[in-house]
Every structure is written in structure tokens, then in C-alpha cells.
Chain A
Amino acid sequence: AQKITQTQPGMFVQEKEAVTLDCTYDTSDQSYGLFWYKQPSSGEMIFLIYQGSYDEQNATEGRYSLNFQKARKSANLVISASQLGDSAMYFCAMRGPYNFNKFYFGSGTKLNVKP
């Protein structure tokens, strides 16, 4: 069964504006972790931000924040003040449940930042 859903295959945003990339997940467990990765055209996977299922505060890392809505099972990534270098594929991933060594990835969202 699919665990992670990213419904936006492609997104455009104007430089300096904020953008939200959607991610929903499917689990009946209470313990899990949510991650976002960035993959530029060069191909490397870069870890951006983490949210634990028991974390009460939304995670933030610089210009990245995670809008975590547990009841809705969503973990949207918000990028503030977009930069040209933010153009990349973005993947949402979940660790666990049941097996904390298993990661499930979404299909990704390709973000294009326009000058």
C-alpha cells in the first residue's frame, strides 16, 4: 500500500515568494518520522528537515518549515523567500511505522523558481 502521497508533480514559484509542497501519509501507527529531501539536477539527495510524530511544534530549519497536521496526516514543506537555487525535486519520506529502519518515499514534486 502506498504510504506517502505527493500530489503535485510540478510547481512554479516566483523568486522571493513562499511556496508549499504537499505531502500526505498513510499510517495507523502513532510513532513515525517524516523527512523532506531535496534533489537538485546534479542528483544528490540532500536532507532538509525532520518532524517526529510526537513533536508538538512544527519543525523549522532556516527557510524551511514543516506544516505538520497530524489529524489530517499531512506534512507539507514550506519554503520561504524562494531562491533560484531552490529549483529541484523534493521528496517527502516517512520512517516507520512498525519498522524504524524502513523508509517510504513519495513520488516527488519538481519545483521551478522563476526569476
Chain B
Amino acid sequence: GAGVSQSPSNKVTEKGKDVELRCDPISGHTALYWYRQSLGQGLEFLIYFQGNSAPDKSGLPSDRFSAERTGGSVSTLTIQRTQQEDSAVYLCASSLSGVVNSNQPQHFGDGTRLSIL
């Protein structure tokens, strides 16, 4: 479809392992966002990318978290040496950017449910 695509939809891994989560935004959307949502909680901002600008990493909780966006499209969120508190749903969103698109919402993927054993 034409929506935001995230993979995998579920990921179970052992504590201490590294994980990579993928996000494929809507074509033409220059802004891409990663959020974390713990069970029953709100959205915790992690990072966002805007075109070729330096990403806003202000929400990353520790240096174990990193993200990249290649070619202005697909993004990968990497968590190294996973801890049990990293268990959550990781949501990716994309949007059109800029003032002229200020009425445009974020479009979300279905998320990756990450479980750390």
C-alpha cells in the first residue's frame, strides 16, 4: 500500500542483543519520526529526520540508540545491547514538511512490538 511500512511487526530478543527496526515512509514525505510507546502510555519522541538536515536526536534515551536514514527515504532504528526496559512498541511516522504543509498530519506505521527477554 501507500502507507508507512514498518518491519518487523514483532521482535523478541534476548537481553544484550542488538536489534534493528526498519521504517519505509510514504513516498514524497521528507520528514520521518521515531517514537516509543510503552504499554498504555503516550508517545515518547525519539528522533526525527528532515530532508538532508542533521537529525534531531534530542529524544534518544541513551547512546545505545541510534538511527539513520539513507537516501532520504528508508530509516533504521538500532538499539544496541538491549535492556528489558527497551520493551515497547516503536512507531514510525512520516509527514510532508514545511510551513506550507503545516496542516498535514503525521502518518503512522503499525509499529514494531519489541520484547526483550
Interface set of A (CB-CB < 8 Å, partner B): 31, 33, 35, 37, 43-45, 47, 50, 52, 91, 93, 95-96, 100-108, 110
Contact = CB atoms under 8 A, between A and B. Distances in A.
A101 B111 CA distance: 20
Contacts of A52: 102-103
Contacts of B43: 91, 105
Nearest to A48: B105
A78 B31 CA distance: 29
Interface of B: 31, 33, 35, 40-43, 45, 48, 50, 56, 89, 91, 93, 95, 97-99, 101-103, 105-108, 110-111
21 contacts: A33-B103, A35-B106, A43-B89, A43-B110, A43-B111, A44-B108, A44-B110, A47-B105, A47-B106, A50-B103, A52-B103, A93-B106, A100-B97, A100-B102, A101-B98, A102-B56, A103-B106, A105-B45, A106-B42, A108-B41, A110-B40
